[in-house]
Amino acid sequence: MSIRLLRSSSHHQCYRPRYQAFSTTTRWRWHTSELDGEKMKSLKVHRDRLMKDIHHTAQWGTGERWGKASAETGMSRLALSDADKSARDWFVKTTEELGCKTTVDAMGNIFAVRPGQKDGPPIYAGSHLDTQPTGGRYDGVLGVTAAIEMLRVLNDNWVETEYPVGVVNWTNEEGARFPISMVSSGVWSGSIPLDHAHNLKEVGSGTATMKSELERIGYLGSTPASHEAIPMAAHFELHIEQGPILESERHKIGIVQGVQAYRWFTIHVKGQDCHTGTTPFNVRSDALLTAAKMILQSHRAATKHGALASTGILTLKPGSTNTVPGDVKFSLDIRAAADKTLDALEQDLRDDFALIASASDVAGLNTHGTPGLPCTVSWSTDSISSATTFHSDCISCVEAAAKVIFGDETEKLTKTMTSGAGHDSVYTSKVCPTSMIFVPSKGGVSHNPREFTSEEDCTLGAQVLVGSVVECDRRRVRG
Ligand SMILES: [Zn+2]
């Protein structure tokens, strides 16, 4: 199988931005070690240039129209589709024109590296260019385009970093076409086997696999998808919040400390089918009524622990108007910032559900009702994801970058927060220092064509991203 790479090797020789006509005798204006607070302020992100990239790349995989303005369409750029290939080609061409060398790994992850004074693992900024089938213009795309804008800002200001800096585009973050989210950063970090990822079949009736589609669009790279083959000194990811907190509390930047833990269970409640007309309440083993009490109690207990509990799947048997159901299964998804919070919540729920199944009263659930006969309850665990804690050094770089922009207003305009959703940064954080920067999502809307973040907020986020990477590079030489 021939692999169509998108560049000739001659491009690799020219690391420095061609349009500025650097030669080997060119003196750089700044080294990052010289960029203290005031000079950092001169590294300005260009709002129009950033927004142009966001909207320009939306031509590949344009989704549903929701308004009249030209940018008021969503995105439908599924991983490894023709549209994704076009966006990838743009990524490679753009970063190479800005002086980077690009590498594609065996999962189609693309790494673009701008050299520094010294050799060593680069500090990366990036995210993903794939979207949900009915997604918006900002999820993932903002993080990649802002990282490309970082390259331009460094070039504009003739900054030579101490070590290389890079931009990364991760493959199939959404898990929408190939049904494991963050699968390619997962392989790179050593958490998911390559074969398993390559053999993932697309959802729906198609027969394509990740590997066949990587080959088809020319992005099955020859470099192993591994943090050992492609090391990172650090990973910074700018992303839209995808929730309502920053907007509603009037903060501009979320300084993300980690990603919350979650556990998924299936709860099976067994009672006894009986006639709805002839069976008095006190002799029923009503599995659905029992499950309903459990779901309500999971909401109350999660509230008490500052966690979340949700049920999204409910199945019952036999499913007849005049039969009390004797067999009910429901999903239970619990989430919290810390594993120990989930430990406590899960223990409370196991105790409470056992009592509820035994027909005992828990927290007044039987008040004004009629206790029935016991049911049985059993739990099975479907999925566990531990809490991710980002690296304090990276978080501190983000804080420092925000401080340069916001000064005395930093506390008012930034918020320390935990991500409710998973991101590629979950996997990078397993093998290299990582943190994330959030910007507000209008109305908290995401995975929707109407997903929106203002130009001002996109620009501020990109500015914090640039500052974070430069600060991290400065600290590498200071030790
Ligand atoms: Zn995303």
Report CA(35)–ligand 1 centroid distance (Å): 31
pLDDT digits (tens, 9 = 90+) for 222-275: 999 999 999 999 999 999 999 999 999 999 999 999 999 999 999 999 999 999
Task: Retrieve residue 218's tokens.
Answer: 């020319």
Report CA(332)–ligand 1 centroid distance (Å): 24
- DSSP code for 200: P
Half-sphere exposure of 308 (CA within 13 A, CB side): 14
Find how far residue 173's CA is from the centre of its chain: 7
Question: Where, residue-wise, is CATH 3.30.70.360 in the chain?
Answer: 261-385
- Fold category of 261-385 in CATH: Alpha-Beta Plaits (3.30.70)
Say if residues 127 and 149 touch (Cβ distance below 8 Å): no
Distance between first and last Cα of the chain? 46
Containing H/E element for 378?
A: strand 376-385
Q: What is the pTM of this model?
A: 0.87
Report CA(88)–ligand 1 centroid distance (Å): 16
pLDDT value at residue 15: 44
Kindly give, in sequence order, each residue whose CB lies less than 8 Å from that of residue 309, ignoring residues fewer than 6 positions away: 298, 299, 301, 302, 332, 333, 334, 335, 345, 349
pLDDT at 334 over 60: yes
pLDDT at 17 over 70: no
pLDDT value at residue 477: 85
pLDDT digits (tens, 9 = 90+) for 355-380: 999 999 999 999 999 999 999 999 99
Say if residues 185 and 424 touch (Cβ distance below 8 Å): yes
Question: How many angstroms separate the most distant Cα atoms in the chain?
Answer: 95
φ/ψ of residue 161, rounded to 5: -75, 160
Residue type, 153: V
**Look-up of token digits 């549903």:** 64
Say if residues 142 and 460 touch (Cβ distance below 8 Å): no
Question: Where, residue-wise, is CATH 3.40.630.10 in the chain?
Answer: 9-259+388-478
pLDDT value at residue 37: 76
pLDDT band at 65 (very low <50, low <70, confident <90, very high): very high
Report CA(438)–ligand 1 centroid distance (Å): 11
pLDDT at 72 over 60: yes
Say if residues 247 and 453 touch (Cβ distance below 8 Å): no
**Mean pLDDT on 200-215:** 95
Report CA(80)–ligand 1 centroid distance (Å): 16
pLDDT band at 30 (very low <50, low <70, confident <90, very high): confident
As a whole number of angstroms, the distance between CA 4 and CA 149 comes to 27
9-259+388-478 CATH: 3.40.630.10
As a whole number of angstroms, the distance between CA 398 and CA 403 comes to 9
Report CA(451)–ligand 1 centroid distance (Å): 12
Report CA(138)–ligand 1 centroid distance (Å): 8
Report CA(424)–ligand 1 centroid distance (Å): 8
Report CA(55)–ligand 1 centroid distance (Å): 17
pLDDT band at 5 (very low <50, low <70, confident <90, very high): very low
Task: Retrieve residue 406's tokens.
Answer: 């916001």
